[in-house]
Structure 1
Amino acid sequence: MPVKRSVVLFHSILGLRRAEREIADAFEREGASVFLPDLFAGRVAKTYEDGFRAKDEIGDALILERAERALEDAPADAVLAGISFGAFLVGRVWKNRPHMPGALLISGVAPWMKPPRCGLPVSAHIARPDPFDDESFFTQWAAAAENAALQLHRYDNAGHYFLDRDLPDYDAAAAALCMKRSVEFVLGLP
């Protein structure tokens, strides 16, 4: 099957785990090519607290350097995708990807470029409520999209990282709907 689209998927604060590989597999079954950089160099965490501790020990500068290095191997027109902390990382690098056709943000959002690229398709998938940010944060974030083509999907009563079957956050129905929407979004980009 010919490759339809390339995706760079940044993992969550928990490190590169089975959940990210399952997400990548879903895209690859549809013919996409997925780059799955390991920004924590093999470190994984079982809790968010342990993940943030690992991030702090590794350091933001090294994590960002690893993310940027991973992008060097990806096509200029690859979709940037991130999960939770990985979504935040998308916001750190997307200004340097002018040919990126869109961004996929799961369980987190990215700081907008200033100004957001006009017409940039962004698909965000967030639990409601989300334990890390209150509703006003997401309302303000969506309002700041300005001319970006934002699709904001909310998943009521799902846990923060509701796609990860190894976490108490997991919600099978929300995960299935999110993946359906995400694959359609990525493969439908021009």
Structure 2
Amino acid sequence: MTEIVMFHHVLGRTVALEQIAERLRAAGHQVHMPDLFDGHTFESVDEGKTFVESIDDEELLSKAVAEVQSLPADVVYLGFSLGAALAQYLVQNREGAAGGIFMYGCVAPEVFGDWPDRVPVHIHAMEDDPFFVDDADAAKALDAAHEKVSLFLYPGSGHLFLERGHDDYDADAAELALSRIDSFLTSLEIVSN
């Protein structure tokens, strides 16, 4: 069993993300899913972004850090878009991370400090996702520079392509990404046993 902390995107803690968490739990993992928006959810990325802009970045980061304080160090940080940045921050700044999975986003690592070479990380996004364009160079550079970082690009332009019920949802890409995540988490279990 792998312990996972899953950070939501700008739509908040949606039903689709809950379903992904349940799939991971059904595979035997323990999933923590903090609600950083205190119950607020949004129908569109624009609405979510407007809400996020009303929150201080440091406040959001502090909430994410506070959510993991009582958890063991050796967790996997899984984040979606906005949540990917939070997951990446914790991978880089909380000692002992077992792994990271950054969905739809990646920050230039120097923003958060040194890169931990020992931590395996997956990055997943669609090739023509307009929201990922600014992150693509950082993701490609990490993939090229670090043996334990793997970047997976899927054909298409949807941002929230795992978000069942959203216009961006792509069933084939979602299933492929989830199967890769399953394999990644299984590989971490094998290494730790």
| Same fold by TM-score greater than 0.5 | yes
Deviation (angstroms), 1:59: 2.5
Aligned-partner Cα distance in 2 for 1:93–1:111: 14
Identity across aligned pairs (percent)?
31
Equivalent of 1:141 in 117, 128, 139:
139
- Does 1:101 pair with 2:126? no
Runs of 5+ unmatched residues, structure 1: none
Aligned-partner Cα distance in 1 for 2:4–2:33: 8
Q: Which residue does the alignment assign to 1:35? A: 32
Deviation (angstroms), 1:96: 2.8
User: How many residue pairs are counted as aligned between the two chains?
Assistant: 186
Q: Match of 1:58, SS?
A: coil
Deviation (angstroms), 1:95: 2.7
Q: Which residue does the alignment assign to 2:78? A: 81
Deviations 1:73-96 (A, max 9, x none): 322111011001100112232233
Aligned-partner Cα distance in 1 for 2:23–2:62: 27
Runs of 5+ unmatched residues, structure 2: none
Listed as ranges, the matches of 1:144-163 within 5 Å are 144=142, 146-147=145-146, 149-163=148-162
Listed as ranges, the matches of 1:14-93 within 5 Å are 14-93=11-90
Deviation (angstroms), 1:142: 2.0
Aligned-partner Cα distance in 1 for 2:17–2:80: 8
Aligned-partner Cα distance in 1 for 2:150–2:70: 28
Deviations 1:129-150 (A, max 9, x none): 111133x751443224533511
Deviation (angstroms), 1:108: 1.4
Which residue type is aligned with residue 28 of structure 2? G
Contact 1:6 1:33 (8 Å CA) reproduced: yes
Q: Match of 2:129, SS?
A: coil
TM-score w.r.t. the length of structure 2 is 0.89
Q: Which residue does the alignment assign to 1:177? A: 176
Aligned-partner Cα distance in 2 for 1:124–1:137: 11
Deviations 1:90-129 (A, max 9, x none): 2232233221111001111244253311232110110111
Q: Say which is worse superposed, 30-39 or 68-77, in terms of deviation.
A: 68-77
Contact 1:116 1:148 (8 Å CA) reproduced: no
Contact 2:124 2:153 (8 Å CA) reproduced: yes
Aligned-partner Cα distance in 2 for 1:27–1:53: 30
Aligned-partner Cα distance in 1 for 2:170–2:88: 26
Bigger helix fraction: 2
Aligned-partner Cα distance in 2 for 1:54–1:35: 23
Aligned-partner Cα distance in 1 for 2:65–2:138: 28
The Cα RMSD (Å) is: 1.7
TM-score w.r.t. the length of structure 1 is 0.90
Q: Match of 2:123, SS?
A: strand
